[in-house]
Amino acid sequence: MAGSTFGNLFRVTTWGESHGPALGVVVDGCPAGLMLKEEDIQDYLDRRKPGQSPIATARSEADRVEILSGVFEGRATGSPISLLIRNTSQISRDYGDIASCYRPGHADYTFDRKYGFRDYRGGGRSSGRETAGRVAAGAIACKILRQLGIEVCAYTLSIGPVTVDPGRFDARAVRETRTAMPDREADERAVAYMEDAIKRLDSVGGVMECRVSGVPAGIGDPVFCKLDALLAQAALSIGAVKAVEIGDGTAVSSRYGSENNDAFRIQDGHVVKATNHAGGILGGISDGSDILLRAHVKPTPSIYAPQQTVDASGHEIEIRIKGRHDPVIVPRAVVVLECMTAITLLDAMMANMCCRMDSLERFYKKRD
Amino acid sequence: MAGSTFGNLFRVTTWGESHGPALGVVVDGCPAGLMLKEEDIQDYLDRRKPGQSPIATARSEADRVEILSGVFEGRATGSPISLLIRNTSQISRDYGDIASCYRPGHADYTFDRKYGFRDYRGGGRSSGRETAGRVAAGAIACKILRQLGIEVCAYTLSIGPVTVDPGRFDARAVRETRTAMPDREADERAVAYMEDAIKRLDSVGGVMECRVSGVPAGIGDPVFCKLDALLAQAALSIGAVKAVEIGDGTAVSSRYGSENNDAFRIQDGHVVKATNHAGGILGGISDGSDILLRAHVKPTPSIYAPQQTVDASGHEIEIRIKGRHDPVIVPRAVVVLECMTAITLLDAMMANMCCRMDSLERFYKKRD
Amino acid sequence: MAGSTFGNLFRVTTWGESHGPALGVVVDGCPAGLMLKEEDIQDYLDRRKPGQSPIATARSEADRVEILSGVFEGRATGSPISLLIRNTSQISRDYGDIASCYRPGHADYTFDRKYGFRDYRGGGRSSGRETAGRVAAGAIACKILRQLGIEVCAYTLSIGPVTVDPGRFDARAVRETRTAMPDREADERAVAYMEDAIKRLDSVGGVMECRVSGVPAGIGDPVFCKLDALLAQAALSIGAVKAVEIGDGTAVSSRYGSENNDAFRIQDGHVVKATNHAGGILGGISDGSDILLRAHVKPTPSIYAPQQTVDASGHEIEIRIKGRHDPVIVPRAVVVLECMTAITLLDAMMANMCCRMDSLERFYKKRD
Amino acid sequence: MAGSTFGNLFRVTTWGESHGPALGVVVDGCPAGLMLKEEDIQDYLDRRKPGQSPIATARSEADRVEILSGVFEGRATGSPISLLIRNTSQISRDYGDIASCYRPGHADYTFDRKYGFRDYRGGGRSSGRETAGRVAAGAIACKILRQLGIEVCAYTLSIGPVTVDPGRFDARAVRETRTAMPDREADERAVAYMEDAIKRLDSVGGVMECRVSGVPAGIGDPVFCKLDALLAQAALSIGAVKAVEIGDGTAVSSRYGSENNDAFRIQDGHVVKATNHAGGILGGISDGSDILLRAHVKPTPSIYAPQQTVDASGHEIEIRIKGRHDPVIVPRAVVVLECMTAITLLDAMMANMCCRMDSLERFYKKRD
């Protein structure tokens, strides 16, 4: 089925494979009047771009975005915005080894079973490169949210056993460290951990966290389009993510109610929560506190150590994966989580505008 | 926005509040010809039904389902199936206390902020009773899946610190223990743990697990409608769920790739995986192994101990919640997770039928 | 596939068959705060109700609507509104004749081919009774639109050769004449025409027209969700409708551009059109003029004269249809067209609220 | 709202404006395994291409399509297919005249009212060039349908008063005549009629017809996704279409039932209809006969004669439209109707594959 579209009012359709001529996205429903230029988007793509650090893949892509439609004289027109990113660094090598075998932890086998065959070059549609389109779309969502006073910020929370220390949280470090950790000390230890894994031809996993501040209360649509439910879909749609937590997440299952409930109180005349175990969402609707979610990412399945697997003819074989692979997915996936969160939230905020009769009356200026 | 519909081809629309005259669901797209009678559905509703155990709420609802459409002479016609469950046990008491205050951990505040007011009787739409419609629909999905050789089975994995011992797994115990645990010994310890919490006017959390066996490889639609992404949406749409794990879930983030990859091998001429860390899904598509997911559930927010909160007029107050409340949500939510999993999987399986040209040609009998 | 849901933000899901226990609709996305009681809906159902005139079917249904959810203390809560209408007048007779044969002009054959069998009692899901749910939902849409200053009014434009004279247009006559014509003289001639047809065991067709006044400019979403495109889907989804015209409709195809273009001019400081050949929609977006659409309805396929057809076993047979049938569909379908128009327009108006950046900024009070 | 996506399983998202750098479409859900090359698509684009005849606009676009994704080694992979068409013939002239005024019959005014401003160059998104994306997508749908034994064929039925004579129907003429009429004699008269209109600086309207043969019975999903309802949406989403007829269309409203009903009979052991007034659709489901629909197209709103209108500042003005404009839209829109019909039908056929339990059991090979 058609699974490459996400969202209803702010609707994103991505396309493209790792080794095709290009990747891209169509953003339909972008509010007219938004000032938008390629730099706004490029900035986000650059954060996802490979080849920036010794721990990232050696593939070097310019990932230059081109706006093909929907923007006129620097402003979004309300018509679909088509964004194009040419693939420029595909190495034309022999993929015969991958073509005929199923790499452990990859989608080779499942694509073959579903579609009968697959574009095996660099993972095809299941490559991490697919996320370039999401990031391009998410850059637009982030810009809109910022104009509404909302900041979405994702970062690496842990890599293997190395976890960020909240006491050393440094937002600027996210874009400056090789791991996208907001803690320079943890970054150093994480890099050492990864370098050790690389030496042993292995890869490592990690955790990404995303915090959204400035979200108004009231966003989300029970019962199936609860904000947390859609954020979970968004996060788990990112390749290699295997678990999603909202607020305190898995920790809540071993707590008492008296520990876990967030007391309401009044601050400066507003209702606030004394704590935020809930991660900013109650009953599937934002409560005005920061939204907090975490996504657990498995280790890069492509490792250089030999592995047992099978080929398409049904023979058991040993493979050694070549090519260019990040030993850890997390640092480059952080911006993808940020973008998917922004897209999900913006779409829900747009839907929220028509949920009350007084909003309709005010908008259409026909008060009783 | 309209958030009470889930699925595209097998499409479920639930409606109803805790204290309205009735609850129900419309199931549109049920395959014609399915033998269906009220007993098929009642069996699932009975598992969700309150008042069955000392640890469950004292509210006693018959939860009798009535089929109002879409079934003729015992078979589904392909037209929408409307299922009605009358509320019969609403106690007509004074809700003034809840009406004017925001219970911690509940959706009172967020509903008020979103909609301007709320049906405060028993939690209204955000009550756990809303899930009756999901279970009724899920019973149909489960029946269809069983006819396709697929079993969906959810159970309680842990309550507070008490976890099921895989070595004592007993499937029959799920429907016989008060906790829905598949381990009679763990059940006893969990009950003791809950009884202690009840004495202290507190509540507890827990973890549900769902295992699906017999799933063919190839189900799921990258990149946004990946099977795991939709299962996560489905699970997190259940009230009180705060985290979802697929396969080994959160554990993968601290692993090496060499540990986490599932090797493929050949067994009886078929491709199988030597391990199943992935939980039956690779690249968002089922791989033929069992699908395994876990949902972490927060403690029941309604506790009898006094709590600090605010009222709708902006005053800080102390409340003591009365009424009938389960001290733990998990045992009754297990069947909801089972049903949401079944609905999600069936919808994806239906969509999968048209993803290949040879399938279309075979179906429409026009082979080249 | 699931085809019983219409709309995205104001989303309507109908269910029920002619001879099942009940019919109904779930309205999801109704703006919270709308004052709503059963009488608001009953008024519309009464207009669709059979048994009101000598030219209508003798089946007498009370068509009492019951609100089962989504309304609390007289106001819509924002949760799905479930509306139930019990069938009370099904005559339990032998349907063996219809069960085994395919009535010309009916959907008996196509339902059998699609679903493998069908609920043959009274036409099952393809009965005109299915529209009761649409009318119940449409009554809510109409009420909302009226509060926004918009009036939707449908009426019979012609029956067979008898057409309403615009010079005698009398809006009140729509609800008072047996034909729902806004012209009492045409009504008399139309009734005579139908009575003659009845004598000859025949049936007749006609045309419905719907006019919407007070629509703001700017509603509709190019390129596939143009307002006229969705109105056409809505109108043609009504059984027996075989053609839809917007504005001057079919007449435009034989015109010159100089005749057909509507000149813009200024009236009281506002842009208006000197004529309205376009029927209030330009480029798929409302232009502020009245929206005008017409739906052509075929003669009731159930006629009492003998007809040639085939049975399910493949034998050619002659049938004589018994039972209770309107000799013309139009007068009772008029309210269905009115309701489908209202639902379509309201959904588009809700979607329109988030199409501009300044609207988002105003709504979320974060202007630059 | 996001209105540039059409279809659910075979899902088409178009983008692009008349004078932007490019136009295109993303086709998601194309069945894997379909052999596809750019020539398959180019052939359809060439039929829509401007500059081919004295009666068509002088704008000359190569309209070369480029496949950017979703096809590997000549076959569709099941991943989204992105198709790109560069605009090459935009004349960079001064649009100041159009920018500040509202052309009668165009969407200038409505776009301004909806979005606050518009891309005025060549009509922007409301230009007929937008349909290039639809045609590219439709070429794929047509190819798939052909492999299933289904032919979709659209042609010009009339231009102004000149109508095709069914007795002279010549399918080959559709692609050879300047009017796309399947009648060479009518074509000559129509050209003369248009040339006369051009001399008088005027434009003319016409009617397109589309016939689909080979459609299996059973396609379409009551009650809102009836096949005719979706075809009507599809047809009316094409700019300048103001009316849609299915089968005998508007003619049915003045008929008797005895005239309009199509008798069933047996031919070669199959159920067939003796006539086809219904246009191949009964109750919203295909009946196995040819599907027949007509779309009425208004005269090109751009005429060279002076017209009264207003400018954006609220002044009444006279304009004379310059530029390159077809005096009639129909001949080039014929292929658009063909393509939209194919997309709609294919999507419905894909949805139809899962509507019966025996189909699911056969597909998943788990018969009882």
pLDDT per residue as tens digits for the range D287-332: 999 999 999 999 999 999 999 999 999 999 999 998 778 899 999 9
Q: Does D222 touch chain C (CB under 8 A)?
A: yes
Rounded distance between C-alpha atoms, residue A250 and residue B59, angstroms: 29
Q: Do B79 and C24 touch (CB under 8 A)?
A: no
Nearest to B302 by CA among A257, D170, D278: A257
Q: How far is CA C126 from CA A43, C15, C120, C122, in A?
A: 55, 11, 9, 9
> Is pLDDT above 90 for A90?
no
For the segment B130-153, the average pLDDT, to the nearest whole number, is 98
Q: Does D32 touch chain B (CB under 8 A)?
A: yes
pLDDT per residue as tens digits for the range C123-165: 899 999 999 999 999 999 999 999 999 999 999 999 999 999 9
pLDDT per residue as tens digits for the range C160-219: 999 999 999 999 999 999 999 999 999 999 999 999 999 999 999 999 999 999 999 999
> Is pLDDT above 80 for A193?
yes
Interface contacts B/D by beta carbons within 8 Å = 92
Test the D interface: residue of C115, C244, C303, C313 with most D CBs within 10 Å = C244
For the segment A160-181, the average pLDDT, to the nearest whole number, is 96
For the segment C37-57, the average pLDDT, to the nearest whole number, is 82
Q: Does D148 touch chain B (CB under 8 A)?
A: yes
Mean pLDDT of chain B: 94
> Is pLDDT above 60 for B294?
yes
pLDDT per residue as tens digits for the range D220-262: 999 999 999 999 999 999 999 999 999 999 999 999 999 999 9
Q: How far is CA C139 from CA B120, C135, C142, C143, C216, in A?
A: 26, 6, 5, 6, 20
How distant is the Cα of C248 from the closest Cα of chain B, in angstroms?
A: 35
What's the confidence (pLDDT) of residue A51?
A: 58
For residue D148, what is the nearest residue in chain B, using CA coordinates?
Answer: B366
Sign, CA torsion C355/C357/C361/C366: positive
Mean pLDDT of chain A: 94
ipTM: 0.97
Q: Do D366 and B147 touch (CB under 8 A)?
A: yes
Q: Do C216 and A364 touch (CB under 8 A)?
A: yes
How distant is the Cα of D219 from the closest Cα of chain A, in angstroms?
A: 18
Residue C156 sits at φ, ψ, to 5 deg, of: -80, 125
What's the confidence (pLDDT) of residue C323?
A: 77
> Is pLDDT above 70 for B51?
no
Q: Do D305 and C258 touch (CB under 8 A)?
A: yes
> Is pLDDT above 70 for B325?
yes
Q: Does B313 touch chain A (CB under 8 A)?
A: no
Q: Give the best-scoring range by mean pLDDT among C43-57, D50-64, D153-167.
A: D153-167
Q: Do A13 and D26 touch (CB under 8 A)?
A: yes
C94 — pLDDT class (breaks 50, 70, 90): low
Nearest to A295 by CA among A152, A158, A130: A158
> Is pLDDT above 80 for D166?
yes
Q: Does A107 touch chain C (CB under 8 A)?
A: no
For the segment B206-225, the average pLDDT, to the nearest whole number, is 98
Q: Does D172 touch chain C (CB under 8 A)?
A: no
Find the CB nearest C261 among D254, D307, D354: D307
pLDDT per residue as tens digits for the range C111-123: 999 999 999 998 8
Q: Does A355 touch chain C (CB under 8 A)?
A: yes
Q: Do D79 and A32 touch (CB under 8 A)?
A: no
How distant is the Cα of D156 from the closest Cα of chain C, in angstroms?
A: 11
Q: Is B85 left (phi over 0), alpha (psi -120 to 50) or beta?
A: beta
Bridge-based pairing state of the strands D264-267 and C5-6: unpaired
Q: Do A14 and D80 touch (CB under 8 A)?
A: yes
Q: Does A187 touch chain B (CB under 8 A)?
A: no
How distant is the Cα of C9 from the closest Cα of chain B, in angstroms?
A: 5
Q: Do B32 and D351 touch (CB under 8 A)?
A: no
What's the confidence (pLDDT) of residue C367?
A: 40
Least confident span in B187-201, B329-343, C43-57, D7-21: C43-57
Q: Do C31 and A148 touch (CB under 8 A)?
A: no
Angle at C112 between CA C109 and CA C115, to 5 degrees: 145
Q: Do A114 and D78 touch (CB under 8 A)?
A: yes
Test the C interface: residue of B13, B111, B126 with most C CBs within 10 Å = B13
What's the confidence (pLDDT) of residue C326?
A: 86
Q: Do D76 and B349 touch (CB under 8 A)?
A: no
What's the confidence (pLDDT) of residue B57?
A: 59
Rounded distance between C-alpha atoms, residue B326 and residue B53, angstroms: 10
Q: Does A247 touch chain D (CB under 8 A)?
A: no
The answer to whether D286 and D355 have CB atoms below 8 angstroms apart is: no
pLDDT per residue as tens digits for the range A114-164: 999 999 998 899 999 999 999 999 999 999 999 999 999 999 999 999 999
Rounded distance between C-alpha atoms, residue A24 and residue A15, angstroms: 5
pLDDT per residue as tens digits for the range A329-358: 999 999 999 999 999 999 999 999 999 999
Q: Does C294 touch chain B (CB under 8 A)?
A: no
Q: Do B68 and C13 touch (CB under 8 A)?
A: no
For residue C20, what is the nearest residue in chain B, using CA coordinates?
Answer: B69
Q: Does B268 touch chain D (CB under 8 A)?
A: no
Nearest to B157 by CA among B189, B129, B186: B186
Helices (H), chain A: 38-48, 96-99, 108-115, 131-147, 173-176, 184-199, 227-236, 257-260, 330-352, 357-363
> Is pLDDT above 70 for C51?
no
B326 — pLDDT class (breaks 50, 70, 90): confident
Q: Do A360 and C8 touch (CB under 8 A)?
A: no
What's the confidence (pLDDT) of residue A367?
A: 40
What's the confidence (pLDDT) of residue A59?
A: 61
The answer to whether B133 and B25 have CB atoms below 8 angstroms apart is: yes
What's the confidence (pLDDT) of residue D368?
A: 39
Residues of chain B numbered 51-90 and touching chain A (CB < 8 Å): none
C58 — pLDDT class (breaks 50, 70, 90): low
Residues of C whose CB is below 8 A from D263: 104, 307-309
Q: Do C258 and D282 touch (CB under 8 A)?
A: no
What's the confidence (pLDDT) of residue D29?
A: 98
What's the confidence (pLDDT) of residue B89?
A: 72
